[in-house]
């Protein structure tokens, strides 16, 4: 049983909850539990979409600096792969994912949120990658995912200065996709995730893979990835169900099985 990271499933939606008071500092145990829980969410057929949530007051205020402060180069060289895998775990889930952000999402906390497909923030949120103020850089995927999301110039500004970005600016630069009142963050994330509870799971996974993998390569290779994934869906039950339903009843009425 995980101590700090849990998965609760209801109505097809899995909620990954970070719960290490007071600030959800992401030590190595939390990183490992994040990886394990993300694998569970991937494996479970009853999970159609995933919310990652830090609670009503804070998302996660970064890695556990006390744990890292006395680590040597050799120790960090051996630990960094695990750190990056844990903080990037949400990105590995082949299902629609949304980060529900209240309060601080800093350093490793923001890196966890960057792994989601969508980010919904409370208007009290403060986001940033302040690692430069510790004499290091983001190491859990932040330099890569942030630049891909908001562009290299804005990412460099955030990484170079370590400044905190408030919710309104985060929305304007595309760092978050929606801003709501803090007590509505989880409900808004759940409303988005609920769209997929009866969805064509294999098609959703293919769509996510095509977009994510295509962004990491040139256009021709991306189109080849798309062709492969598109054709593969013709081996699924949901493709047959969806097309038959469309012909007989029109769009949007198919009842998918996830197979």
How is residue 47 annotated by DSSP?
-
**Other CB atoms within 10 Å distance of the CB of residue 133:** 12
111 part of the active site:
yes
131 part of the active site:
yes
**CA–CA dist 131, 57 (Å, integer):** 22
**CA–CA dist 170, 114 (Å, integer):** 12
**CA–CA dist 105, 165 (Å, integer):** 10
Q: Which residues pair with 118 in a beta bridge?
A: 98
Instruction: Please give the C-alpha separations between residue 229 and each of 62, 115, 215, 217, in angstroms, as whole numbers.
Output: 36, 22, 15, 16
Q: Determine which one of 67, 78, 111, 248 is catalytic.
A: 111
- Phi and psi at residue 157, to the nearest 5°: -60, -45
Sequence-distant (6+) residues with CB within 8 A of 240 are none
Q: Determine which one of 131, 184, 226, 255 is catalytic.
A: 131
Which has the closest alpha carbon to 144: 208, 50, 209, 216?
A: 216
Helix axes 28-43, 73-87, angle to 10 degrees: 30
Residues with a catalytic annotation lie at 111, 131
């Amino acid at each position: 049983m995980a101590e700090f990271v849990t998965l609760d499933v209801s109505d097809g939606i899995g909620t990954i909850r970070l719960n290490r008071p007071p600030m959800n500092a992401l030590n190595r145990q939390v990183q490992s539990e994040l990886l394990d829980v993300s694998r569970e969410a991937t494996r479970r057929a009853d999970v159609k979409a995933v919310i990652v949530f830090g609670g009503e007051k804070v998302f996660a205020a970064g890695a556990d600096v006390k744990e890292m402060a006395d680590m040597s180069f050799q120790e960090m060289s051996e630990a960094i792969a695990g750190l990056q895998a844990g903080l990037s775990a949400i990105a590995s889930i082949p299902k629609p994912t949304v980060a529900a952000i209240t309060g601080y999402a800093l350093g490793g906390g923001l890196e966890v949120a960057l792994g989601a497909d969508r980010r919904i923030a409370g208007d009290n949120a403060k986001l940033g990658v302040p690692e430069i103020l510790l004499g290091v850089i983001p190491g859990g995927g932040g330099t890569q995912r942030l630049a891909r999301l908001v562009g290299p110039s804005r990412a460099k500004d955030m990484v170079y200065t370590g400044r905190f970005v408030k919710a309104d600016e985060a929305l304007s630069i595309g760092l978050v996709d929606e801003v709501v009142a803090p007590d509505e963050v989880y409900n808004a994330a759940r409303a988005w995730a609920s769209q997929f509870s009866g969805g064509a799971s294999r098609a959703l996974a293919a769509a996510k893979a095509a977009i994510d993998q295509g962004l990491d390569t040139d256009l021709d290779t991306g189109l080849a990835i798309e062709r492969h994934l598109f054709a593969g869906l013709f081996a699924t039950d949901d493709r047959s169900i969806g097309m038959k339903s469309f012909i007989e009843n029109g769009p949007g009425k198919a009842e998918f099985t996830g197979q």
